[in-house]
Amino acid sequence: MVAAETSLPDTVVSYRAAKKDEGSTSLANVLGSNIFDLLIAIPAGVVLAGATSINCAVAVPMFGFLTLATISLFTATRTGLELGNKDAYFLLAM
């Protein structure tokens, strides 16, 4: 449930930016949010709460999917760094 609560504001900001034809703002919001989570939020949580063990059986498939999603995004934007409707539907289906 936490993931939905933290991702919904980013989704709204990206949607509004895209509707205003500001696709780069939308993409920057998503990438910036993910980078912030990985480099600030997760380490800060570990510092505050202490060390935690990671279940590799869960983490490895998740990281594999995130890598696949990133490769798919860059493959979809290979032509002029633009996403068309076909590319967008493909990414949503993933």
The model's pLDDT over 25-51, given as tens digits with 9 standing for 90+, comes to: 877 887 787 788 778 877 887 888 887
Q: What is the mean pLDDT of the chain?
A: 79
pTM for the structure as a whole: 0.53
* pLDDT grade for 2, boundaries at 50, 70 and 90: low
What is the rounded distance in angstroms from the CA atom of residue 57 to the CA atom of residue 62? 9
The pLDDT value given to residue 28: 81
* pLDDT grade for 23, boundaries at 50, 70 and 90: confident
Contact at 8 Å (CB) between 30 and 10?
yes
Q: How many residues in total does the chain contain?
A: 94
